[in-house]
Structures are given as C-alpha cells and as structure tokens.
Amino acid sequence: MTSTAVETLVNLAEIPDRGRALVATRPIKPGEVILSDSPLLLYPASAAAASTCCSRCFRSLPSSATRCTFHCSNSPAAASFCSPRCLASHTPYLCLALSRLPISIPPDLLSPAFFLLAAYNLAVNSPSDFQRLLSLHGAASAPADVDASALHSLLSSVVPSPPSGFSLELTTTLLSKDKANAFGLMEPFDGGDRSVRAYGVYPNASFFNHDCLPNACRFDYVDKGGERNTDIVVRAIHDIPEGREVCLSYFPVNWRFAERQKRLLEDYGFRCECDRCMVEKDWSDDEEEDDAQEEEDEGMEEDEGDEAMESVEEDAIDVDGDEDSKFPHAYFFVRYVCDRDNCGGTLAPLPPSTDGTLSNLMECNVCGSLKTEVNADQDGGQTSNGIMLD
C-alpha cells in the first residue's frame, strides 16, 4: 500500500526523551492536510466487526437480509468481501490462517490474534512493509495485558507456513509495535459509546508523538466510496509555526489527568510533561472529585469525559480576563472540543480552498458534525454556539 505526504509539511526529527517526531517544515494553516497515510496492515477489532465488515476494505457489509458478499474458495467461512474487486485483491494466506483459528479462542486473545495473523501475512506477502512495521517504535517487552506465549503457541498450530523468523520473540516484538502504534478506526458515531471497528498500523502517522493539547488531529472515513477509504488524514487544528513539533492526542482530549497519565505509562511507556499536564498535576484529587460530585448533585448524566469537559468550560469563563485562572488552556476546550452529547471529539477546520482561503467550518473527528467556527473574542469565549449542519 502506498502513502503520500500531500506536500512535505513535516520532517522527521529526533527529539531528546521523545524519540522520532514530526516537525513543521513551514508555517501550517488551520485545516491544512499535514499527512494522508495508508495502512501497512488492518485487522478487525472484534468478532462482531469481522463478521459485519469487508475483510479487505473494512467497509460495512450490506445487512444480512440483503447480503451480497463474496468469499475465498479456500476458506469461505473465514472472511467476507464486499465486491469482486476486494475478493480479487485479498491474500489467500490470511484467509487460510483465519479459517484455522479455533472458535474457542478466548475473547481477549481474539483481536491480538487478528493482528498477528495480519502481521505474518505481511511478512509473507510484502517483506519490505513488514520491515517497516518492525522499524516502528515498540517497548522491549510484550504488553502487560496480552499473554504473548499463550497466543504464540495457539497461533503456531494455525499459521499455514510460518514466515522466516517465526518465534515467540518475534510475536512479542510485534505485539509491542501494535500497542505503541495502532490507530482505531471507529464505527459511525450513534450517540452511544464509541466502538472500534478495526485497527490499523500506519507507517508515517506512527511518528506523531502525543500531546494532551494537540495541534493536529486525525480523521478517517472508512465507509466512504472510492479508493483509499482506510487512509487516515491528519489536519492542523490551528496555526502551527515552522519548526514546531506536530502532535496528536492518543485518546480523547477530555480525559482527566490521572486517566491520561495511566494510559500513557501503561500503553506507551512515558510520563507526559506537556504544558497541560504541568498545570493539572497540581490539581488535587478532591478538586476533580468535587467537580464530579457537583454534577451528580445536579442530576447530570454525563460520562467521565463530559464531566471533565464541563469543569474546564466553567474555568474557561475565568480565563477570559483572569491570568490566575486555574486552567489556562480552557480556551482549547471551548473552541476545539465537540460539545455534542457523549461525543468529545476534536474539531479541526475543513481544508483551505485551492486559492488558500481558510474555511470557517469545523469538522468533528468523532461524530463528523460540521459547525461554524466560533470567534471566542466575539462571544466572550464562554460557549461554542456551534451550528450543527448534519
């Protein structure tokens, strides 16, 4: 699969204590596409996702009543394809391996097993891409939440003709690459809990480091028509000066400090020292709990992300004229976090037009809503006042 940097807006650089990073080669405008990247590999997030989406392009399959799907003759039950084109471009090696996976596989091993089979398939069918996968960042040991040796012995009896180097060590290495680099491609937002349809590992997007107040965010459009529907597209949230590192948030930005630090340490092996964390580390637990309690008392039924969001929005009111505000980054939440119920996605402007005119339409990277950009200077920075266009 190919990847394109639309123009070289970022260069790879080595930054002490952060490893490789992507740095702006020129000033980047709000909404500009920084990178459009195609996956090295994709795999279903669950058994349900595997049975309801195309095994090649990961678009939703038609509902069962009208289902018209295509199957590999070697192993018809293992994978379904949405079109003759997807069937023609699949790799029978992977179908065969999937068809041999025992139905009794423990649920927590299923998604890592899908990943490993996709990775071994890459080793067999595209050795240069497999080398790119191996060159990505990964911890020295297997992720704590996956039993690598159980998985390896289970797959040893499944993998058709093992790629060279097939070993527990390779399995462990691959699992750590997946943990540090996989992006979730989400099911369409329906107002409830977000669920992941598939995971993908992207060779260039894997160089974006994390920041709890990112200056870019990524979009995916898996169900769209045409080619390259599984690309991820990274766009600037606001102006990024030349020489500044471009960062994404590895999870929804409205997570609380403790939750963010835990995830970053457990899954990515580092303590975050971004500007936002440096402020929030001094917040007491009581302060965070008080915010939650107040909302419970008020009978609010919001998830954790919404609670965090609510408290920073209150602080945003302080921030407008008060330099001592306890949360100087509240402006970010007012302007760039989606306020649709249960969403909490990040907003970035649509790309500028071909003549360079900036768009005033902000797109949410979770629910897909479009809303007009808020000028916080005009409305006091207190409310997003967005117009939902969808």
Ligand X SMILES: C[S@@+](CC[C@H](N)C(=O)[O-])C[C@H]1O[C@@H](n2cnc3c(N)ncnc32)[C@H](O)[C@@H]1O
Footprint of ligand X (CB under 6 A) = 17-21, 137, 180-181, 206-207, 209-211, 268-270, 272
DSSP state of 328: T
For the residues of 187-253, what is the DSSP string, one character each? PPP-SS---EEEEEE-TTGGGPEE-SS-SEEEEE-TTSSSS-TT-EEEEESS-B-TTPBPEE-SS-T
**Rounded to the nearest whole angstrom, what is the least distance from the CB of residue 383 to ligand X in the complex?**
31
Nearer to ligand X, 256 or 371 (CB): 256
**Rounded to the nearest whole angstrom, what is the least distance from the CB of residue 14 to ligand X in the complex?**
8
Residues 6+ apart with CB under 8 A from 266: 144
**Rounded to the nearest whole angstrom, what is the least distance from the CB of residue 1 to ligand X in the complex?**
18
Nearer to ligand X, 273 or 341 (CB): 273
User: Structure tokens of 16?
Assistant: 């002490």
Number of CB atoms found within 10 A of residue 363's CB: 23
Q: Are 351 and 236 in contact (CB under 8 A)?
A: no
Nearer to ligand X, 221 or 270 (CB): 270
Q: Which long-range contacts (CB under 8 A, 24 or more apart) does 319-325 make?
A: 319/381, 320/380, 320/381, 320/382
**Rounded to the nearest whole angstrom, what is the least distance from the CB of residue 268 to ligand X in the complex?**
4
**Rounded to the nearest whole angstrom, what is the least distance from the CB of residue 325 to ligand X in the complex?**
24
Which residue is closest to ligand X by CB?
Answer: 19
Nearer to ligand X, 112 or 203 (CB): 203
Nearer to ligand X, 197 or 210 (CB): 210
Helix (H) or strand (E) holding 51: helix 47-52
Buried b (16+ CB within 10 A) or exposed e, 150-188: ebbebbeebbbeebeebeeebbbbbbbbbbbbbbebbbe
CA-wise closest residue to 178 among 267, 59, 57, 269: 267
Nearer to ligand X, 71 or 137 (CB): 137
Pairing of strands 209-210, 247-248: parallel
**Rounded to the nearest whole angstrom, what is the least distance from the CB of residue 358 to ligand X in the complex?**
28
**Rounded to the nearest whole angstrom, what is the least distance from the CB of residue 214 to ligand X in the complex?**
10
Number of CB atoms found within 10 A of residue 13's CB: 13
Type of residue at 295:
E
Nearer to ligand X, 70 or 207 (CB): 207
User: Structure tokens of 41?
Assistant: 């590999």
**Rounded to the nearest whole angstrom, what is the least distance from the CB of residue 218 to ligand X in the complex?**
12
Nearer to ligand X, 22 or 343 (CB): 22
Spatial separation of the C-alpha atoms in residues 168 and 132, rounded to whole Å: 20
**Rounded to the nearest whole angstrom, what is the least distance from the CB of residue 344 to ligand X in the complex?**
20
Nearer to ligand X, 38 or 206 (CB): 206
DSSP state of 129: H
CA-wise closest residue to 44 among 62, 31, 60, 67: 60
